[in-house]
Structures are given as structure tokens and as C-alpha cells.
A and B are shown apart, each in its own frame.
Chain A
């Protein structure tokens, strides 16, 4: 009874996660189309001091007289674009890398894992800041690429772990006996079966990426004005003249919080649901990886 209640509670939070993500998605897709105000047009009549939320401007206007709600919609587009695209880069590369490493095993696996160790030893956020600042091109594509290329390592580890345990299973053995080559084994048998935890990781990664983008833009190293992003809206709110306009601080911040909450509830809910299907209790999402077995070389018979 008790555990049924708890499950219900968990699913309810997962539902809340789906709901939030859906709302943000809809806002990003249709907000800029349906809402008439421009996110970059400067209203000279309102320029100079921010105006409080009103019927004409539901979230008020910023220091330059730009409509905050329109900027919020535009920011949602930026956040989701960065979040999802960078996740796709990280997940595809990480899965491929991890599966290859785990399937080949032996020395190759050891070297590939050492490379990951080295990359994880980078102060990644600092590295992102540095690269962004040095290239001086704040194109959205570059931001996405950098975030994606610096966040695939944990996925690779995850997939490798899955593959290491999968490849000892009978169905893999059977496929190999039937003459499946390494490429076929990796793509047809190992990767598809290792995808369950990847789905959870992907969901959580979207949230993490959104946070990184917001942080970069907040520092002035991400999305550049006049394009609005939640991070640079927050930066604008910090100019002394805007300091007595708390709505300028609250709106972008709360939008980030709610969006991140949505993705982490969804990820957590997915984990519960997917775990239950294999009869395990939910582990804490921050648990360290269990010590992985040393990979024995996987020998492919010719033929």
C-alpha cells in the first residue's frame, strides 16, 4: 500500500515534468508567433527606466523598453535549441565511443577510458568560457558544439558499462556464433540494448545544457544582444539602473528554474518507470558509477 502510494507520487512528479516540458516547448514554438510584441524592438517612449508588469506588457519592459515576455519567448527558443541539439551531439558521440570501447575491450578500451579520464579532469566550464572568449564568435552553432563536445564523456562511460555487461549475455554470444561482425554487434545488438539509461541521461542532459548556456550568456559569453536569452536577460537586470526592477530578475530566473525542474522531474520519472520494468528500486541519480569490471578482450571469430 505504502509503496503503491509512493509510486503514485513518483509518477505524479513525472507527469508534472512532462507537463512543464510540454509548456516550455509550446511557448518556444508558438509564443513568438502568437504574441505580437517584438523581442528586440526598442520602445523609445519607455527607454531609460524599466516599467512594471501591466496589461500591455505582462512581464514589464526592460531598460531599453523591450517587452520582457517577448524576450522570454525568444529565450525559450534559444534554451531549447541549445539544450536539445547539444544533447544530441553528446549522446550520439558518447554512445558510439562508449559502445566501441566496451565492445573492443582490452588495450583499446583502456586507452579510450584514459582519454575520458583526461577530458573529465578539465575544468569543463572554465574551458568553455576560455574557448568562447578566445574565438570571439558567439554564434549559436559554436555554443552548441562546444557544450556538446564537452559533455559526452559521462554518456560514454555509461554506455561502456552497459555494453560490458551486455556482451557476456547469451543473446550477444548467439549473435556472434551466427557470424555477426563487430560493427553489426555494436549497432544491432549492443547499442539498442544499452539505450535505456541513455534515455534518462539524455533528458537530464538537456537541463544541464540549458543551465550552461544560461551561465555563459549571463557572463556575456553566450548568446549576444540583441537576441534574448534567459541568461543575458538576467545580465541586463544587473545594470544599476535596473536594480529597482525586481521583475527583471525574477522572470528569467524563474523560467530557468521551472524549465530545469521540468527536465529533471521527467528524467527522474523516466528512470523510475524504466527501472521498474527490470524490477529494481530507484537509485539516487547522483550515485557514482559502480566499479566496472576490467574488460577482457572480446575476440571475434572470423566468418
Chain B
């Protein structure tokens, strides 16, 4: 297993190189790329000062040379420095990461706590009103844009009912207060969970139906085991395997959803940093976030495969 993981991680290196190369090329080649950006910001400078600045940032060289320098710096553990405040990109991302992780973890927990039982129940009572209702809900949730849901939730619960704060992660003077922080996270987590509920629930229902019609369940029934034992011990355990693997695979999607949720709720997480950096043309930060997101995808896929082997003893990787 360890050997397998190591092999996969080594295999991920060329993949990440390719991702970073393509991103760099796209940005470097686009007409509004970093050179043009600095041209705008440097409007007030004399030509000499401006040329000095551009040379200092390496922007006078072709993009592939810049990419090479970027890679060299990466080898030394640096993601470069932000164009906006000149701080290390790595540090900027690190300080934003906890909020995004909190948001993602909480909403994943909430989603699973609702979606798995509902999916299992819908599968065991296939064709019942509960099955139809939950499927209808799933379709509706699947069709709901997370940013719109977020706006509606803010409108109802924060602006009209005044139960919860509208945005941000802390209230003024309440920094470090966990209750306050959680209150700020209620609506964002609700928005993200409601939207991702759909695919998890449908997925769990599908895999449960598959398990319920599997030969080993027929055998269990034939042995005369009670329906409860058949459903919850035999079928459910096997139906959870695909769900567990989905955990890793949904990681990137969750990060994508977090961009919008953080934007709508002004949560200062990595997603908002990403959007802000794009708007302010903070090229190194954008690059850093792209790379980090790609790493997350790779780790998510690896996690899915490893979990698959952990929960299903029939699968061996060596």
C-alpha cells in the first residue's frame, strides 16, 4: 500500500508540472497578461522607473522564461510574492486556508448526515412517496445555483428575520469567540450542503439499490436473516463503499462551490482570495491557488483509491 501511494505521488509530479505549465502559458499569452497589468498600475511612473520595476519582477522576459524562474523558486519552496502587497503567496494562502477548510468540512459533515440516511431509506422504500419526494428534492437542489441560494438565505434569515449575520466570519469585538464564528458559518454551510445534498443522496440511493439486488443479499435473505439485519448489516455496509470513494472525488467540486459561497458571504477564505486576486490581476497568487487546487484534486483522487482499498478488502494495489 505504501509503495502504491508513493508511486502514485511520484506519478502526480509530471501531472502537476503540466497543469502549472498550461496555466502559466494561458496567462502569459493572454492579451491582459501580467505585462499589460503592470503597464496599467505603473501609469504614474517615469518610463525608467517603470522599466526598472518590470525588470525587477521579471516581466520583461518571455513567459516561458518566467515560468522557468517560477519553477526554480518553487523548488526552493516559494510560490513567489503577491503583486498587490508583496507578501509571500504561500503565507497569504495559508492564512486563508483554515476558513475554507472549516466551511468544507462542516458542510461535508452536514451533507453526509442528511444525504446518506435519506438515500438509504429511499432505496429500501423504492417507489414509495418518500422515494419520490426525496428524488424531487434532489432534482430541485441539483438545479439550484449555490450563489442564488446563498443570496436568498441571506435575504430571509439575515436581513428580514435578523437571526444570523449576513457576511464575514467574525463580528466586531467577538474575534476568537467560537459561538460567534459558528453563527457566521450557519448560512454558508447550509447553502453549500443543500446544493451538494442532491448528488450524494442520488448516489447513495443508487448504490444501495445495487447492493439490495446483489446475490449476497439474496443469500442472506435465503438464510432466513431478519430484514433489518439484511438491510442494515449486509446491504448497507456494501452500499457505503462507493460513497466513501466519492469523498475523494468530490473534493475539487467542493472547492469550486466554495468560491461562490465565500464570495456571496464575504468569507475571507481561499476562494475569496482567488477571486480577489483574479480581479486585482495578482498573477503570482492566482498561480499559487491554481497549483494548490490541482494538488487537492490529485490528493482527492488518491484518497478515493486508497479508501476504496481500505473499505473493500477485495481490492489490492500491490
Task: Report if A and B associate in a common complex.
Answer: yes
Q: Chain B's nearest CB lies how many Å from the CB of A200?
A: 15
Q: Chain B's nearest CB lies how many Å from the CB of A140?
A: 18
Is there contact, CB below 8 Å, between B155 and A123? no
Interface check A136, CB cutoff 8 A: yes
Is there contact, CB below 8 Å, between A123 and B145? no
Indicate the size class of the contact surface on chain B.
35 or more
Is there contact, CB below 8 Å, between B31 and A133? no
Is there contact, CB below 8 Å, between A127 and B23? yes
Interface check A130, CB cutoff 8 A: yes
Interface residues of B, dominant DSSP: helix
Indicate the size class of the contact surface on chain A.
35 or more
Is there contact, CB below 8 Å, between A133 and B278? yes
Proximity string of chain A (1-28) to chain B, C-beta cutoff 8 Å, 1 when within and 0 when not: 0110110010001000000000000000
Is there contact, CB below 8 Å, between B32 and A257? no
Interface check B186, CB cutoff 8 A: no
Is there contact, CB below 8 Å, between A284 and B143? no
Give the contacts of B5-19 with A (CB-CB under 8 A). 15-16, 18-19
**Which chain B residues border A281 with CB–CB below 8 Å?**
209
A-B contact count (CB 8 A): 151
Interface check B260, CB cutoff 8 A: yes
Is there contact, CB below 8 Å, between B143 and A234? no
Is there contact, CB below 8 Å, between A284 and B140? no
Interface check A205, CB cutoff 8 A: no
- Cα distance A5–B293 in the bound complex, in angstroms: 45
Q: Given contacts A123-B293, A129-B275, A264-B139, is CB(A117)–CB(B145) below 8 Å?
A: no
Q: Given contacts A123-B293, A123-B297, A133-B32, is CB(A260)–CB(B142) below 8 Å?
A: yes
Is there contact, CB below 8 Å, between A283 and B26? no
**Which chain B residues border A2 with CB–CB below 8 Å?**
127
CB nearest neighbor in B for A288: B249
Is there contact, CB below 8 Å, between B246 and A257? no
- Cα distance A256–B252 in the bound complex, in angstroms: 23
Is there contact, CB below 8 Å, between A249 and B155? yes
Q: Chain B's nearest CB lies how many Å from the CB of A248?
A: 10
CB nearest neighbor in B for A284: B206
Proximity string of chain A (48-90) to chain B, C-beta cutoff 8 Å, 1 when within and 0 when not: 0000000000000000000000000000000000000000000
Is there contact, CB below 8 Å, between B275 and A118? no
Is there contact, CB below 8 Å, between A126 and B259? yes
**Which chain B residues border A268 with CB–CB below 8 Å?**
139
Q: Chain B's nearest CB lies how many Å from the CB of A256?
A: 6
Among A13, A281, A288, residue most surrounded by chain B Cβ atoms (within 10 Å): A288
Proximity string of chain B (280-318) to chain A, C-beta cutoff 8 Å, 1 when within and 0 when not: 010000100110011001100000000000000000000
**Which chain A residues border B26 with CB–CB below 8 Å?**
127, 130-131, 134
Interface check B27, CB cutoff 8 A: yes
Is there contact, CB below 8 Å, between A123 and B256? yes
Give the contacts of A201-227 with B (CB-CB under 8 A). 207, 211, 214-215, 218-219
**Which chain B residues border A9 with CB–CB below 8 Å?**
127, 132
Among A5, A130, A215, residue most surrounded by chain B Cβ atoms (within 10 Å): A130
**Which chain A residues border B199 with CB–CB below 8 Å?**
286
- Cα distance A2–B128 in the bound complex, in angstroms: 10
Interface residues of A, dominant DSSP: helix
Interface check A243, CB cutoff 8 A: yes
Stretch of B92-100, B146-154, B170-178, B218-226 lying at the A interface: B146-154
Give the contacts of B186-204 with A (CB-CB under 8 A). 199, 202-203
Interface check B245, CB cutoff 8 A: yes
Q: Given contacts A219-B275, A284-B202, A285-B202, is CB(A126)–CB(B293) below 8 Å?
A: yes
**Which chain B residues border A234 with CB–CB below 8 Å?**
147-148, 151
Is there contact, CB below 8 Å, between B207 and A284? yes
**Which chain B residues border A285 with CB–CB below 8 Å?**
202
CB nearest neighbor in A for B286: A130
Is there contact, CB below 8 Å, between B148 and A253? yes
**Which chain B residues border A3 with CB–CB below 8 Å?**
127
Proximity string of chain A (253-277) to chain B, C-beta cutoff 8 Å, 1 when within and 0 when not: 1001111110011001000000000
Q: Jot down 21 A-B pairs with beta carbons below 8 A, ordered by A.
A: A120-B297, A121-B16, A123-B255, A123-B256, A125-B259, A126-B278, A129-B278, A130-B23, A131-B30, A133-B281, A134-B32, A135-B32, A234-B148, A243-B155, A256-B148, A257-B148, A261-B140, A285-B202, A286-B206, A287-B203, A287-B242
Seen from chain A, the residues whose Cβ lies within 8 Å of a Cβ on chain B are: 2-3, 5-6, 9, 13, 114-115, 117-118, 120-127, 129-131, 133-137, 207, 211, 214-215, 218-219, 234, 237-238, 243, 246, 249-250, 252-253, 256-261, 264-265, 268, 281, 283-288
Identify 8 new A-B residue pairs, CB closer than 8 A, beyond the known A2-B127, A249-B152.
A115-B18, A118-B15, A125-B256, A129-B278, A249-B151, A250-B152, A260-B143, A264-B142
**9 tightest A-B contacts by CB?**
A284-B206, A123-B293, A260-B143, A253-B148, A261-B143, A134-B30, A136-B32, A121-B297, A134-B32
